[in-house]
Structure 1
Amino acid sequence: MNLNNRIKLSVMMFLEFFIWGAWFVTLGTFLGSNLSATGAETGSVFSTQSWGAIIAPFIIGLIADRYFNAEKILGILHIVGAILMYQMYNATDISVFYPYVLGYMILFMPTLALVNSVSFNQMKDPEKEFSSIRVFGTIGWIVAGLLISFVFHWDSPEGITAGLLKNTFMMAGVSSLILGLFSFALPATPPKVAKGEKISINEILGLDALKLLKDKNFAIFFISSILICIPLAFYYQNAGVFLADIKVTNPTGKMAIGQISEALFLLAIPVFFAKYGFKKTILVGMLAWAVRYVLFAYGNASDLSFMLIIGIALHGVCYDFFFVSGQIYTNSKAGEKFKSSAQGMITLATYGVGMLIGFKVAGLVTDMYKSDGITDWKMIWIIPAVIAVVVFLLFTVLFNEKKKIEPTVV
């Protein structure tokens, strides 16, 4: 890959995840403080990510892979996304806000696959080259959080009271417009499927890989993947609100520690995998969710603030050791014919079905333990910790695969 394309792809990745990090981390706090949303309403807004993940394969499979260059679709989706972001910036009521965020997530989630397609199309050896491009996405997310907390102070108690969190949508919208226009200058990525070539809905959604569920151990992994997304949803939906509510300083900037951790632990996966195997690796990931939530339940913004920082820093273990190792396991079980279908099925099950259930549960639990403006955060974190422990125990007992799995890059 020449230097010019490397720079373009790095800028693309930076902006892609800068946009997401610019508004998603503070979304829960914004909904509660600016739009007076209930926990259930907040859960519905966050679940738009799941609906986007469910619909995304249709946009990629039926349009991007068949008719138009990926970089052009990426540009159009981000330009329209910028318009929707501006509408979200102006919304003053949850009923007005919801349709715009739903439309935005349906358009944004496919872009996560499109930026990968554009990148892979320019690489001779993706296994060696992709990580050095993808890391700029993590940097983009981190920079967005640092700007919100340490430069603009939109997430400070004064900023939240003044309603300044709505500015995150303007920042994301401007960035989306920039990426939309920039996308047309990206290297050409033509359709993967030849015109006239048939492609089935089963192939698009990864349903061809359902036959893998005949394997008892894979079925246990599949169900566990859906169940572990319930505690995962609690973090995405409530962590930012929680830190702001207990008056942690610069909460969005501190949550960026999680992305730094994710990047670092990603490097540890092959080593841990090779030494301890798939089952132990994924169990560490499951247990980390429980530990993180216990730390959140008993930590505070003063003398026990270190517990909160450790909980945030565990994000790398929580996410990488479960989801990345799960992708590796799926890749090893699928075989050449169903590799893409299997990854699509797992994505649909986790980010689609699992997170949809998770956000619903998180919203109901939050409402259950909130009264007269006071939130019982200890119980809100203990419940997902218990769920994570139950999934951990079920997987420990029921998953008995002995065969060694090689930690190949997915």
Structure 2
Amino acid sequence: MESTEMEKSPHKRLGAMFLLQNAVWGAQVVLLSGHLAELGFSGLQISYVLATASLAALCSPLLAGWLADRFWPAQIFAGWSYLACAPLLWLAWLQTEFAPLWGIFLAFSLLHAPTMGLTNAIAFRHIGDMGRYGRIRVWGSIGWVGISWLLSGYLRLWERAAPGQSHLGDGLLIAGGLAVLMGLYCFSLPHTPPEREKGKALAFVEAFGLLRQRDFAVLMGVAFAVSAMSPFSYNFSFIFFVDPVHGPGFAASSASWILSLGQLAELPLIPALGWLIAKMGLRWTVCSGIVAAAVRSLVLAWGEPVWLLVASQALNGYYIACFLVAGTMVVERLSPADLRASAQGLLVLCIRGLGPLLGHGLAGWVYDGNALAGGGRDWQTIFLVPGCVLLAGALCFWALFRGPPADGGAGRR
């Protein structure tokens, strides 16, 4: 009877799934750019390591979505993926040279990338009412904020106990432990068997056919451009905030806390996402999320005052809620039931794969090309590039996206 009751009310379990998933992700990525910079990596090398996630997203999510749509229960696939990730994260912690670290991160990313689409597919299958997705997905934000603050406190302890030592790489150790916990937890999630009939064509091939829909194609195209700008922020914001000469010069523990403000802003936004979409429509909601990302980059390019630089990080939460999360809801509405896992994988291909893959190379090149003679970086130029591109992306989405007929106002002008 207890098992039956849990199957009837899966929302808490799905919320815990997103919490653990984002804790694993946050633990390994929040401090990574700072760790790599301390190892002496160049901007391009930092970007190449972080770009392994984008390389993996070119193939892993679509393959995983196909398997989940046709053969393997999604929660089993996700569980084994996380368990395999753990030893790779621990091995990465031991590395100090670029080549072996890059190879380990590529292997990790090939296993980790599919889990993004799989957890969305599990959630959408079991929540019943789409309006509840935001209230469940917000636990992912809580997981990211929680691990960011724990890492901040951990670094603060070391800053006081041993000021000359760096422990930025320890996030990889913590992420490995959390990956084991997440992997085991996935096996307890509601059963999510394939919906696809095995006699039909490959689901992920058919998912590309959705690009014939105008709105689906517009979403994917803009998602590609917008996500190409994300490496500027994710790769170098931490380095900017700890720069003592040309940046604010915060301690590493404080920079970790500041960067978590975006996820903190998600906490009220994601549960209210259904209400926002009902009031604004999908078109305006998604467009406003892109504008928020643009404003954040432009504030960092402006460079002062310090309080505004810190406050602007909250805009990342609005971007995540109103573009990234709302984007998965757009995909869910535009795709048929038997292609949804593959369609979510296609979205991951754009926002975690193709777009960032281009962006990592561009961001690393811009970062290295704006080194100053006396040391440090020309942060104004570095952050001005994504700010301008994001504004152009918002304009394109507003002009071209109409919204599915069922959306209450997505097509408003």
TM over 0.5: yes
How many corresponding residue pairs? Answer: 398
2:208 partner letter: L
Distance 1:232 1:160 in 2: 32
Aligned CA distance change for structure 1 residues 182 and 272 (closer, same or farther; 3 Å): closer
What residue number does 2:26 align with?
21
| CA 231–87 in structure 1, closer or farther in 2 if over 3 Å, else same | same
The AA in structure 2 aligned to 1:232 is S
23 and 326 in structure 1: CA distance in 2 versus 1, 3 angstrom threshold: closer
- Determine which of 32, 35, 44 is the counterpart of 2:37: 32
State the partner residue of 1:224.
222
Question: How is 1:180-199 mapped onto 2 (pairs within 5 angstroms)?
Answer: 180-193=183-196, 196-199=198-201
Which residue of the partner structure matches residue 399 of structure 1? 400
Structure 1 residues 75 and 28, CA gap change in structure 2 (3 angstroms)? same
Q: How does 1:118-197 map to 2 (within 5 A)?
A: 118-119=122-123, 123=126, 125-127=128-130, 130-153=133-156, 162-193=165-196, 196-197=198-199
Residues 63-115 of structure 1 deviation map (CA, whole Å, 9 limit, x = unaligned): 44444443333232222111100110100111110011111111112122333
Contact 1:26 1:241 in 2 (8 A): no
**Cα displacement string for residues 27-46 of structure 1 (whole angstroms, at most 9, x for unaligned residues):** 11111112x11111111112
Q: Contact 1:209 / 1:345 at 8 angstroms: preserved in 2?
A: no
Aligned residue in 1 for 2:57:
53
State the one-letter code of the partner of 1:84: L
Task: Report the counterpart of residue 382 of structure 2 in structure 1.
Answer: 380
Instruction: Specify the alignment match of 2:346 in structure 1.
Output: 345
SS in structure 1 of the partner of residue 270 of structure 2: helix
Instruction: Give the letter for the 1:297 counterpart.
Output: A
1:111 aligned to which of 109, 115, 138 = 115
Deviation of 1:117 (Å):
4.3
User: Post-superposition shift, 1:269?
Assistant: 3.8
The structural deviation recorded for 1:338 is: 6.2
AA at the equivalent of 2:385? I
Separation in 2, partners of 1:166, 1:61: 32
Shift of 1:120: 5.0
Contact kept in structure 1, 2:65 and 2:118, CA below 8 Å: no
Aligned counterparts of 2:257 and 2:82: Cα–Cα separation in 1: 25
The answer to whether the aligner puts 1:99 opposite 2:97 as a matched pair is no
> In structure 2, what is the Cα distance between the partners aligned to 1:341 and 1:189?
14
Change (3 A) 1:290 1:132: closer
Distance 2:80 2:227 in 1: 31
* Structure 1 residue 145 displacement after superposition: 0.3
TM-score by length of 2: 0.83
Taking the aligned partners of 1:62 and 1:223, their CA distance within structure 2 comes to 22
- 1:183–1:281 Cα change, 3 Å: closer
Q: Distance in 1 between matches of 2:318 and 2:62?
A: 31
1:209 and 1:341 in contact (8 A); partners too = no
Q: Which amino acid aligns with 2:20?
A: L
1:9 shift after superposition: 4.2
Q: Distance in 2 between matches of 1:67 and 1:341?
A: 13
Deviation at 1:383, TM superposition (A): 1.6
Structure 1 contact 48–105 (Cα < 8 Å) conserved: yes
Partner residue, 2:361: 360
SS of residue paired to 1:370: coil
**Alpha-carbon distance in structure 1 between the residues aligned to 2:367 and 2:163:** 20
Looking at structure 1, the residues matched to 315 and 24 of structure 2 have their Cα atoms a distance apart, in angstroms, of: 23
Please give the secondary structure, in 2, of the residue aligned with 1:153.
helix
Matched residue of 1:314: which SS?
A: helix
Structure 2 distance, partners of 1:331, 1:20, is 23
Q: Distance in 1 between matches of 2:185 and 2:401?
A: 49
1:62 offset after TM fit, Å? Answer: 4.5
Do 1:328 and 1:407's aligned partners in 2 also have CA atoms closer than 8 Å?
no
CA contact (8 A) 2:227 2:350 kept: no
Deviation at 1:135, TM superposition (A): 2.7
The partner residue of 1:293 within 290, 297, 308 is 297
- C-alpha distance 132-325 of structure 1, shift in aligned 2 (>3 A): closer
| Contact 1:22–1:168, Cα closer than 8 Å, also in 2 | yes
Gaps of 5+ in 1: none
**TM-aligned CA distance change 1:133 to 1:394, over 3 Å:** closer
Pair 1:191–1:235, CA change in 2 (3 A): same
SS in 1 for 2:168: helix
**Contact 1:42-1:237 within 8 A present in 2 as well:** yes
Label 1:86 to 1:378 Cα distance change in 2 as closer, same or farther (>3 A): same
Matched residue, 2:79:
75
Q: Distance in 1 between matches of 2:132 and 2:408?
A: 17
What is the CA–CA distance in structure 1 between the aligned matches of 2:337 and 2:123, rounded to whole Å?
22
Match of 2:314 in 1: 313
174-183 or 93-102, larger mean C-alpha shift: 174-183
Distance 1:332 1:29, change over 3 A: same
Do the aligned partners of 1:148 and 1:154 also contact (CA within 8 Å) in 2? Answer: no
Matched residue, 1:389: 391
Any conservation in 2 of the 1:285–1:317 contact (CA below 8 Å)?
yes
Q: Structure 2 stretches of 5 or more lacking a match?
A: none
CA distance in 1: counterparts of 2:81 and 2:307, whole angstroms: 41
Q: Over aligned residues, Cα RMSD in angstroms?
A: 3.3
Deviation larger for 280-289 or 100-109:
280-289
* Conserved 8 A contact 1:265-1:317: yes
Instruction: Give the whole-Å Cα distance in 1 for the aligned partners of 2:385 and 2:51.
Output: 19
Change in 2 beyond 3 A, CA 1:236/1:155: farther
The percentage of counterpart residues that share the same residue type is 25
Q: CA deviation at 1:22?
A: 0.6
Relative to 1, partners in 2 of residues 1:76 and 1:408: Cα closer, same or farther, differing over 3 Å? farther
Q: CA deviation at 1:167?
A: 0.9
